[in-house]
Amino acid sequence: MSAKKFEDLLEPRRRELSNYFYINRALNPQVAVQISPRPSPQSHQEAVLNSKKISELVTEISQKQNVKREEIVKQLRLILEEIGYKKNLQVIRYLGYLLTKIFLKVSTGVYVNHQGISQIKSQMGKCPVVFVPTHRSYADFIVFSYVMFAYDIEIPAIAAGMDFQGMMGMGEMLRNTGAFFMRRSYNDDSLYWSAFKEYVNQLVSKGDLPLEFFIEGTRSRSNKSIVPKYGLFNMILKSFFLSQVPDILFVPVNVSYDRILEESLFAFELLGIPKPKESTSGFFKSLTILKESFGNIYFNFGEPISTRSFFQHKSQHSFGSIHLHETSEEEKKLIPPLAYEIIRRQQLCTVVTYTNLISLILSKNLTRGQQYTGFEQLGVEIGMWKQILQSWGATIFEKDVGEAIRECLKVQQKLLHCDENGNIGLVTNKISVGKLNPSKLKAHVLSEDTISYSVPFIMLQLYANPILHYFVDAALIVIVLRSFGKMIKDELFKHYCTLRAIFSYEFVLLESWFKMRFEDALLKLKQEKIISLHQNGLYYDVFENKYFEEVLISSVQPFLLSYYVVTVVLETVSEMVDEKTILVNVQSVLENALRENKIFIHPYCLTLDTLGNCLMSLAKNNIVKKTRRNNINVYDVNREAVRKLKANLEIYIPAFHVIKSFDMFLHLKSKI
């Protein structure tokens, strides 16, 4: 697909003398549902207070606690004020102006697939519409609203975390553009949660604004998809299950950045060095970014998913007061496939940029010990990847290769540099961490050397991560074949499933889709001659395309290594162990191995995101049992299961031999 698919919102802004008229143009924003009279922020809050559910709750509490109804209503009003969105066109226009100026300064383009958004706009007006963008940066919120402003769509009611509220001024500003706020902490303030749920119910079933929320629940620090969170999603879907609305359209949106605002913060966070609490001063500090260049931002709107068509389900709420109904257990079971489908579609909407390809290729070359990659070589490899990804259905953001590499080098100048001979490599030793307070670290106290060595690698990996989903399945198949040798299909599938299940948090996938993905990956591998069938089509084995084989294997190496080390650690620690102890041990083993500097170990394996994914996956697969005690996660380790998994992963480690002749396995062993 060509770049023409995308339109640059900044292009006309750059050409005009002043953006004033654009910002103050007459708006006739498209609503999600035509309702007259139009509901207002205030009317929604009143509707919550007057809802049967809430007024019954008020009665109940007032009787139980012997407090006056008015008292509780007063509390509720405060809660609703904390939650509720507002609409202030002046603020919207002001922010629009500010953003235009900022974008023109730091961005080269804000690209949107205009056909996608026009299609959605044309479908709006009849039933609730929920935008579900990927969440990779704080900027998502604001840029998304900017795009809506540009296409004259009502700025959605956006579910935001309370942490924004802490940023003085910022929270209110966002609120005035339509953000509503959800407390993050899991307390059992039943009054709060009842009010919040009812508020969401009102927005969905009686509101006319589109909604927007992040199904991943939080910004993905790794720049790849994370498993869906269900809290808010369930609340939104309730209106559908109870037939309060005829349908809900979920619009998957992929938002990606040539350079993420928080990239270095994320890299530190991934190592366990905590993020600063969101505060306005932090925000203003980040205003220094105005001097930098962030390249393009890409918005790719996917096709709306009709909940109605997706579920094809019969409602089961014919008895009793409808306002007392909740989503049934049976209906809840329908929800995960929809959530995963939304994430899958977000992934399908990935805009593959040259930055992604460059990161992938450089990372591979670094892994094979090649510190520098020549400009020409990079161009050639990019060409190969473009072709393969395109044939796999990816959307590539087209550009002239040479120009693209130069632009990437410019945008990523803190990370990448190119010497006079055209050799491209990581910028190293530029990061000074300063004094760290060990008590604030989330895991192991990594040495300053380790940190400053690792951060560039991790940052580089952040830009390879968004496209890993295109080939992770192929990579796992190749690793199996490389480790075991030729194999019949059934056997291969079994091994694939074991590995895939372990990585189902790392590379988000529903178990019921394994078969489909497996078949799909096999086909791709055969097409690219990475694997082939032998002996009358009975056995699969690796084939002649060694280049792609190597990239595939190297792409998952850090993850496999992390997971392996987790099993190693779990074998040695006590059977009841808290999360931090595990993380500390794993990081310490890996740091030692890294320090040896004998062989190349990708520092991404130190990341807490990956270790966290691993622990969740182990819990899901009943290898550990997770409980929460005094606010910390404690794991009950099933030693036998861990041993089995370890033995299993162990087999795959030597697959890295392909990359360079070293015995990583033995090397690691010596460190443990």
Partner 1 sequence: MTTSANKDKNIGFPLNIKSTIPKHRQELLKWNGWGYKDSQFVYQDGKVHFTGKRYPIGEQPLPHLIGYVTETMGVDLNIQSIERDPPKEFDYPEPNIPQNVFELLKSLEIPYSVKIMDRVTRAHGQTLNDVFILKNGQFKRIPDVVVWPESHDDVVKLVKFGNENNLVIIPYGGGTSVSGAVECPQDEDRPIISLDTSQMNRILWLDKENLVACCESGIIGQDLERELSKLGFTTGHEPDSYEFSSLGGWVATRASGMKKNTYGNIEDIVVHVKMVTPRGVLQKNCQAPRMSCGPDFNHVIMGSEGSLGVITEVIIKIRPLPACRKYGSLVFPDFESGIKCMREVAKQRCQPASIRLMDNDQFKLGMILKPAASYFGIILDGIKHFYITTIKGFNIDKMCVMTLLFEGQEKDVKISEQKIYSIGEMFGGVPAGEKNGERGYMLTFVIAYIRDLGLKYQIVAESFETSVPWDRAVTLVQNVKYLISRDCKNFGITHFVINSRVTQTYDAGCVIYFYLGFNYSNISDPVSVHHQLEEKARDEIIACGGSISHHHGVGKLRTKWYTDTVSRVGADLLVATKKELDPNNVFATNNFLTFSTKSKL
- Interacting residues with partner 1 (CB under 8 A): 36, 126-127, 243-247, 314-315, 317-318, 321-323
Nearest distance in Å: CB 325, partner 1: 10
For partner 1, the closer of residues 244 and 633 by Cβ is 244
Cβ distance to partner 1 smaller for residue 243 or 391: 243
Question: Shortest Cβ distance from residue 206 to partner 1 (Å)?
Answer: 11
In whole angstroms, the minimum distance from the beta carbon of 205 to partner 1 comes to: 8
Q: What is the DSSP string of 47-110?
A: HHHHSHHHHHHHHHHHHHHT--HHHHHHHHHHHHHHH-----HHHHHHHHHHHHHHHHHHEEEE
* Rounded least distance, CB 39 to partner 1, Å: 13
Q: Which is nearer to partner 1, 303 or 491 (CB)?
A: 303
Q: Considering the complex, what minimum distance in angstroms separates the CB of residue 63 from partner 1?
A: 24
The tokens describing 449, both together, are 């050397």
Phi then psi for residue 399, to 5 deg, are -165, 165
Minimum Å distance from CB 553 to partner 1? 47
Residues 352, 515: contact at Cβ < 8 Å? Answer: no
How is 431-451 classified by DSSP, letter by letter? -------GGG-SS----HHHH
Could you identify the residue written with the tokens 């509780």?
Answer: 72
Q: Which residues contact 259 (CB under 8 A, 6 or more apart)?
A: 293, 294, 295, 355, 411, 412
- Cα(287)–Cα(298) distance, integer angstroms: 22
- DSSP states of 356-412 as a string? HHHHHHHHHHHHTT---EEHHHHHHHHHHHHHHHHHTT-EE----HHHHHHHHHHHT
Shortest separation between residue 47's beta carbon and partner 1, angstroms: 13
Would you list the DSSP string of 170-195?
HHHHHHHTTEEEE--S----HHHHHH
The Cα-based distances of 593 to 398, 455, 583, 653 in angstroms read 40, 17, 15, 15
3-state secondary structure of 332: helix
576-578 β-sheet, strand order = 576-578, 632-637, 624-629
Nearer to partner 1, 59 or 243 (CB): 243
Closest CA to 376 of 405, 356, 351, 350: 405
As a whole number of angstroms, the distance between CA 64 and CA 244 comes to: 31
Minimum distance from CB of 189 to partner 1 (Å)? 28
The DSSP bridge pattern shows strands 179-182 and 157-161 to be parallel
Task: Please count the CA atoms within 13 angstroms of the CA of 358 that sit on its side-chain side.
Answer: 30
For residues 321 and 574, which CB has a smaller minimum distance to partner 1 in the complex? Answer: 321
Residue placing its CB nearer to partner 1 in the complex, 63 or 243: 243
Using CA atoms, how far apart are residues 210 and 32, in angstroms rounded to an integer?
Answer: 5
As a whole number of angstroms, the distance between CA 589 and CA 569 comes to 9
Q: How far is the CB of 131 from partner 1 (least distance, A)?
A: 20
CB of 87 to partner 1, least distance (A): 22
Which helix or strand (DSSP H or E) is residue 241 part of?
A: helix 231-241
Shortest distance, CB of residue 157 to partner 1, whole angstroms? Answer: 20
Q: How far is the CB of 341 from partner 1 (least distance, A)?
A: 20
Residue (180 or 240) nearer to partner 1, CB: 240
CB of 126 to partner 1, least distance (A): 6
Q: Which is nearer to partner 1, 202 or 254 (CB)?
A: 202
Question: How far apart are the two ends of the chain, measured CA to CA in Å?
Answer: 49
242 vs 593 by CB, closer to partner 1: 242
- Smaller CB distance to partner 1: residue 246 or 276? 246
**Pick 57 or 462: Cβ nearer partner 1:** 57
Count of CB atoms situated within 10 Å of the CB of 406: 13
Q: What's the CA gap between 566 and 649, in Å, rounded?
A: 11
Q: How far apart are CA 386 and CA 382, in angstroms?
A: 6
The C-alpha atoms of residue 557 and residue 289 are separated, in whole angstroms, by 33
Q: Which is nearer to partner 1, 245 or 530 (CB)?
A: 245
Handedness of CA 341, 342, 347, 349 (dihedral sign): positive
Residue with smaller CB distance to partner 1, 119 or 293: 119
For the bound state, the minimum distance from the C-beta of residue 125 to partner 1, rounded and expressed in Å, comes to: 10
Q: Which is nearer to partner 1, 36 or 187 (CB)?
A: 36
591 and 446 in contact (C-beta within 8 Å)?
Answer: yes
